[in-house]
Structure formats: C-alpha cells, structure tokens
C-alpha cells in the first residue's frame, strides 16, 4: 500500500491540533482512527510526518543492473537465465542466481519464450495418418514433433531396432 501524501498528513494533524476529535477527523478525511493517532504520535516523537522507509531487504539487482539486463534482453532474448547471470557477473562483478535473474526479467514484464504462438512443438503421429486412418496403438510407435524429429530422446534408435525386428 502506498503512503498517504504529506499534504494529507499535515491536514490530519492540523485538524486534531485545532481541537477536532480524532474520530471525527478520521471520518472527515476518510482514514482510520488509528492512522490519525499514529500521525499525531509520530509528530510528537520524531518531529516529522515523513513516511519511513519500507521494510525489507534491498533488491539484489540495482538500477544499473536492471537497465543493463533490459538492454541485454532487447539484444538477445534467447539467452538463458544462467547466461544472463554470467553476463551480469562479467560486466558488473555482481553475482546473481538464475532465480534472481528470472524474477528481474519478470519485473521488467518480459517473457523468455523463444517460440512464437503458432510455431510451438507438439506431438504428431505420423504413421497412422499417412495410411489414411487410425491403427492399433501398439503400432503407433513413430511419435514425432511437428518439425519431424522424434519426440522421445533415443526413440530413433528404438524405431530402427523395431523396424529391423519386423514390428513395423
């Protein structure tokens, strides 16, 4: 949640100092009564109504690293997160894990997808359709991707062995 503006904080505290009850001030400005109490206490203790720094750990990748990462994404969107982490270390001397780079790419609202929507690979059965109909599932061993390469690693070796054995 964003902090309330300094102008609103000053108006709230000024209203309470004029003698308006805290509950009425809260209702008038559309804030919770606890917020009015907190602002009055903060002015008394710290002397300022400036909001505190948000809690949490500082980001691993600073503005310079994020700018560099954005430029690198424009030039080479196909690089892996590990490659981008190595790039950041080589250029800035900053070690970042793959997960850190992945989150940073997400904050930049960029996708690492390499294949466009219409060109995605999927499983395609070649043999049954080539012969004009469905065959028995035990015969449909030749499962290939759209680009013609075997879907399963090592499947071309198995297919050759099946063909030699007379299964196909």
Check whether 128 has a pLDDT greater than 90.
no
Dihedral (Cα; 61, 63, 69, 74), 10-degree rounding: 160
For residue 145, what pLDDT is reported?
A: 63
What are the tens digits of pLDDT across the range 73-109?
A: 888 778 888 898 998 889 888 899 999 999 998 888 8
Check whether 13 has a pLDDT greater than 80.
yes
Check whether 5 has a pLDDT greater than 60.
yes
Q: Angle, nearest 10°, between helix axes 81-92 and 98-107?
A: 90
Interatomic CA distance for residues 27 and 19, integer angstroms: 15
For residue 16, what pLDDT is reported?
A: 95
DSSP element (H, E) containing 143: strand 143-145
Q: 43 or 133: whose pLDDT is higher?
A: 43
Check whether 30 has a pLDDT greater than 90.
yes
Q: Backbone phi, then psi, for 155, in 5-degree steps?
A: -70, -30
What are the tens digits of pLDDT across the range 40-77?
A: 999 999 999 998 887 888 888 888 999 998 888 888 77
Cα dihedral across residues 107, 108, 113, 119: positive or negative? positive
DSSP string of 89-137, one letter each residue: HHHH-----HHHHHHHHHHTT-----S-GGG---EEE-HHHHTTS---G
């Amino acid at each position: 949640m964003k902090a309330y503006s300094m102008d609103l904080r000053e108006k709230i505290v000024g209203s309470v100092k004029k003698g308006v009850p805290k509950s009425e001030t809260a209702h008038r400005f559309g804030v919770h009564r606890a917020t009015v109490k907190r602002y009055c206490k903060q002015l008394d203790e710290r002397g300022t109504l400036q909001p505190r720094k948000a809690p949490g750990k500082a980001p691993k990748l600073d503005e310079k690293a994020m700018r560099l990462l954005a430029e690198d994404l424009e030039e080479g969107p196909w690089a892996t997160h590990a490659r981008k982490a190595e790039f950041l270390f080589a250029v800035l001397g900053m070690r970042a894990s793959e997960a850190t780079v992945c989150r940073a790419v997400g904050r930049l609202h960029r996708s690492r997808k390499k294949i466009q929507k219409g060109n995605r690979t999927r499983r395609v059965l070649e043999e049954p359709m080539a012969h004009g109909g469905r065959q028995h599932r035990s015969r449909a061993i030749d499962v290939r991707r759209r680009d013609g390469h075997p879907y399963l690693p090592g499947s071309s070796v198995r297919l050759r062995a099946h063909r030699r054995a007379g299964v196909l």
